[in-house]
Chain A
């Protein structure tokens, strides 16, 4: 009893504590950034009295602790205030842009799984053979290409050579969902490429390792076919270790999408974040950073839970 319920409760407490620390860190980081928000908003020509008035309106004159708690309350109720720059609710701004970033990350993740798994399985069948070596070399090359370079190369390829995809065209999901997915395919692929290589490399060695294990030998001696052994024993066991890697890849993809959005001119969180930075839009900036951190921490939490569900040994610890 203690073992498993304790494990889940422990992980949940861990999640909450991490989020609290993240909120403190985010708030502290934005508080120590030099520069006066009110002064920046009003410009160098505004009088001291005007600046002071705005400061009072924004609540910037309150003590730090009070500001932290009112900010935390706003964040937790999904209402982190009004953006200075856009003059819109931060929650609304983020929820407008979130589908692009999340959609792109999700498509990239699907690509990673769909491409790296079959390749890893095929490669691991006969390690050291030509096919395996070709895959490994291509993997190394892809691993070395950062997503923004891959984006540019893909744009070149897709637009000038094949003219398959209209680059730089954005279709809102509410207008045409398949069009929305279509315009995200290429940027997603650019983010996915190095991650495909990473996941391939990891899975391949994990499958090779599992195939050499004693229980596979036992299954062989029971007369199980190679396919059955692969599906029922080798893959589930290599998945146990892959879950952690996949969660790291996912959070990497989320970060990568912020940059790729710029290259493909997509209205996602990344562009919102950059404009918030350049305009010193504290409520917007802290909102985006906190929610992104929240998604990442949540992913790790889910991967821990998933690992505990798949591996019966974890709960003992």
Chain B
């Protein structure tokens, strides 16, 4: 094969989505012209909807059916991709061009074990005639390469039994299995936490060197590409507006838009300046969990197959976790993805079968989940949501009081308005539907739904990770206000060490299903004793260090 300096050459590509009504719409990609050099990591940056993903899909040949390339060409190793038949292009996928995507949670078939899904990559391409045993070995080798020491075990798992970071590793393994020359990564880390992000980026870099894979890396977050990409291109409204080496673009942006992206990446320093409140650790804890062990079962058939070993039936995710949450405190819970944070929350809430005991002093605990979009029912108003939360609470009768229907109704309404007001939402929000609210506002509603039940503890599972920097800073202020004024304790699960440092007086670090370190936040973060805590801090420094 002849060696080309540019493995991919996109030449004046224009792409649009013509419809019957509008045959000449505004192009989604407008005269895009760039090359990807053999062996480099090229970053493609821009806000959502700027055309980054369309560029990558055009290269891979996976464009939606209604997309039309009006002009330009795409050459891969000298061959014009746009002149190839669909069959020829499909033969290149997986073999020459690999892809990984943003959302690892839905990118794997939920009904198929990991081993089988990876095997499909090998069987889809007939030319590499491997025996069953060879295929298995290739998959095990690749899974080990992407960081699964227990590759055989992972092969038998279903996607829902893996964490987000683990799934993304599996997807990288699938994309790299046939050692393609180009790997397109479309926001592979944007739904992952910092530690996992760093490890995925390191893994990609390792693959790039070990297997000599060229990488096109798409992201909306400038801080992620720092120190990872060799060159960076900035896209806006379907055009490439800026391109330079990664270090130049980050230290000395010449383009105004690039500078703006850079500022956005720095925003989370806004949270500085919150004062943690005093907590009395002599009081009786609001929540005590002792020796929680939980895990996910295997399928019935596998269980019958593995009958010999008795404990083979269950994969333990939590191994004897104990913790106390005291009144008024904000307890931070940090850990990499797959460390068992979410499993712990589910066990504490009784959503997952577990052994060990959980005792809650008051029966009122609120929960706020990560994704505010799917947590609210799109068919109902905010008032309906608040009423439902109120009526489900054990205090519903107390709040409504006695009297006529009208009196009780008025009291209920007053209580709901009061709580919404605390959460920074006015009375006018009562009649709105979730789709009329922003992500930050929806998360406020979720907090209000907890608060209306007057909980003694709110468990918040990564409540800010899907929000942009300014909304999460405002929400964080809300959380500290509620903590100070309503005396509500918080168990805050987060991967953002900045947040923990600022608002949580005490912190627990989880790793591999165990609590590996716990104590006063400043002690733990300034002088981490455990490997996991050090890794978290190092990752945080690596990503945000020089930016903040």
Q: Which residues of A contact B (CB under 8 A)?
A: 1-4, 8, 213-215, 217-225, 228, 232-233, 236-237, 240, 308-313, 315-316
Additional A-B contact list (19), CB under 8 Å, known A8-B300, A316-B352: A3-B296, A4-B299, A215-B108, A217-B107, A218-B108, A218-B171, A220-B93, A221-B60, A221-B93, A222-B174, A223-B125, A224-B120, A225-B124, A228-B120, A232-B109, A236-B111, A311-B110, A315-B299, A316-B297
Give 6 pairs: A residue, B residue, CB < 8 Å, sorted on A: A3-B353, A214-B107, A232-B112, A237-B111, A310-B111, A311-B111
Residue of B nearest to A310 (CB): B111
Q: Judging by beta carbons under 8 Å apart, are A1 and B314 in contact? A: yes
CA distance A1 to B95 in the complex (A): 40
Residues of A within 8 A of B101 (CB): 214, 217-218, 221
CA distance A217 to B56 in the complex (A): 13
Q: Judging by beta carbons under 8 Å apart, are A313 and B110 in contact? A: yes
Q: Judging by beta carbons under 8 Å apart, are A218 and B174 in contact? A: yes
* Known contacts A312-B160, A313-B110; A223/B303 CB under 8 A: no
CA distance A113 to B91 in the complex (A): 33
Residues of B within 8 A of A4 (CB): 297, 299-300, 303
Residue of B nearest to A236 (CB): B111
CA distance A248 to B49 in the complex (A): 43
* Known contacts A221-B94, A313-B110; A232/B120 CB under 8 A: yes
CA distance A312 to B116 in the complex (A): 14
B289-339 residues with Cβ-Cβ distance < 8 A to A are 296-297, 299-301, 303, 313-314
Q: Judging by beta carbons under 8 Å apart, are A222 and B160 in contact? A: no
Residue of B nearest to A8 (CB): B300
Residues of A within 8 A of B174 (CB): 218, 222
Q: Judging by beta carbons under 8 Å apart, are B108 and A315 in contact? A: no
Residues of B within 8 A of A225 (CB): 90, 124
CA distance A219 to B98 in the complex (A): 11
Q: Which listed residue (B93, B106, B121) contacts A214, Cβ 8 A? A: B106
Q: Judging by beta carbons under 8 Å apart, are A1 and B313 in contact? A: yes
Q: Judging by beta carbons under 8 Å apart, are B353 and A220 in contact? A: no
B3-40 residues with Cβ-Cβ distance < 8 A to A are none
Q: Judging by beta carbons under 8 Å apart, are A219 and B120 in contact? A: yes
Q: Judging by beta carbons under 8 Å apart, are A213 and B160 in contact? A: no
* Known contacts A218-B171, A224-B120; A309/B300 CB under 8 A: yes
CA distance A221 to B101 in the complex (A): 10
Residues of B within 8 A of A311 (CB): 110-111
Residues of A within 8 A of B92 (CB): 223
Q: Does B99 contact A (CB under 8 A)?
A: yes
Q: Judging by beta carbons under 8 Å apart, are B106 and A213 in contact? A: yes
Residue of A nearest to B116 (CB): A232
Q: Tell me how far the C-beta of A300 lies from the nearest C-beta in chain B, rounded to whole angstroms.
A: 19
Residues of A within 8 A of B76 (CB): none
Q: How large is the interface on B (under 10, 10 to 19, 20 to 34, 35 or more residues)?
A: 35 or more
Residues of A within 8 A of B297 (CB): 1-4, 315-316
Q: Does B175 contact A (CB under 8 A)?
A: yes
CA distance A108 to B71 in the complex (A): 54
CA distance A313 to B95 in the complex (A): 32
Q: Judging by beta carbons under 8 Å apart, are B62 and A221 in contact? A: yes
Residues of B within 8 A of A220 (CB): 62, 90, 93
B50-75 residues with Cβ-Cβ distance < 8 A to A are 60, 62
Residues of A within 8 A of B97 (CB): 221
Q: Does B268 contact A (CB under 8 A)?
A: no
Q: Does B217 contact A (CB under 8 A)?
A: no
Q: List the count of A-B residue pairs having beta carbons below 8 Å apart.
A: 101
Q: Tell me how far the C-beta of B412 lies from the nearest C-beta in chain A, rounded to whole angstroms.
A: 33
CA distance A173 to B353 in the complex (A): 52
Q: Tell me how far the C-beta of B201 lies from the nearest C-beta in chain A, rounded to whole angstroms.
A: 20
Residue of B nearest to A311 (CB): B111
* Known contacts A1-B297, A218-B171, A309-B300; A223/B313 CB under 8 A: no
CA distance A215 to B167 in the complex (A): 12
Residues of B within 8 A of A233 (CB): 109, 112
CA distance A224 to B116 in the complex (A): 13
Q: Does B103 contact A (CB under 8 A)?
A: yes
CA distance A224 to B93 in the complex (A): 8
Q: Tell me how far the C-beta of B377 lies from the nearest C-beta in chain A, rounded to whole angstroms.
A: 20
Residue of A nearest to B297 (CB): A3
Residue of B nearest to A218 (CB): B107
Q: Which of A1, A2, A213, A309 has the most chain B CB atoms inside 10 A of its CB?
A: A1
CA distance A218 to B386 in the complex (A): 39
Residues of A within 8 A of B111 (CB): 236-237, 240, 310-312
Residue of B nearest to A224 (CB): B124
Q: Judging by beta carbons under 8 Å apart, are B90 and A223 in contact? A: yes
CA distance A233 to B110 in the complex (A): 9
Q: Does B158 contact A (CB under 8 A)?
A: yes
Residue of B nearest to A305 (CB): B300
Residues of B within 8 A of A3 (CB): 296-297, 353
CA distance A3 to B302 in the complex (A): 14
B86-136 residues with Cβ-Cβ distance < 8 A to A are 90-95, 97-99, 101, 103, 106-112, 120-121, 124-125
Residues of B within 8 A of A240 (CB): 111
Q: Tell me how far the C-beta of B52 lies from the nearest C-beta in chain A, rounded to whole angstroms.
A: 16
Q: Judging by beta carbons under 8 Å apart, are A221 and B124 in contact? A: no
Q: Tell me how far the C-beta of B516 lies from the nearest C-beta in chain A, rounded to whole angstroms.
A: 26
Residues of B within 8 A of A2 (CB): 297, 353
Q: Tell me how far the C-beta of B525 lies from the nearest C-beta in chain A, rounded to whole angstroms.
A: 35
Q: Which listed residue (B94, B106, B352) contacts A222, Cβ 8 A? A: B94
Residue of B nearest to A234 (CB): B109
CA distance A55 to B12 in the complex (A): 96
Residue of A nearest to B86 (CB): A226
Q: Tell me how far the C-beta of A2 lies from the nearest C-beta in chain B, rounded to whole angstroms.
A: 5
Residues of A within 8 A of B313 (CB): 1
Q: Which of B103, B107, B296 has the most chain A CB atoms inside 10 A of its CB?
A: B107
Q: Tell me how far the C-beta of B204 lies from the nearest C-beta in chain A, rounded to whole angstroms.
A: 16
Q: Tell me how far the C-beta of B9 lies from the nearest C-beta in chain A, rounded to whole angstroms.
A: 21
Q: Which of B62, B103, B110 has the most chain A CB atoms inside 10 A of its CB?
A: B110
CA distance A213 to B109 in the complex (A): 9
CA distance A102 to B353 in the complex (A): 41
Residues of A within 8 A of B314 (CB): 1
Residues of A within 8 A of B108 (CB): 215, 218
CA distance A33 to B175 in the complex (A): 69
CA distance A104 to B353 in the complex (A): 45
CA distance A312 to B301 in the complex (A): 11
* Known contacts A214-B101, A311-B111; A223/B353 CB under 8 A: no
CA distance A240 to B303 in the complex (A): 21
* Known contacts A1-B297, A4-B297; A222/B103 CB under 8 A: no
CA distance A214 to B300 in the complex (A): 27
Q: Which listed residue (A215, A222, A237, A310) contacts B121, Cβ 8 A? A: A222
CA distance A312 to B108 in the complex (A): 13
Q: Which of A213, A221, A309 has the most chain B CB atoms inside 10 A of its CB?
A: A221
A-B pairs with the 5 shortest C-beta distances? A223-B94, A221-B99, A223-B93, A214-B106, A3-B297
CA distance A232 to B109 in the complex (A): 10
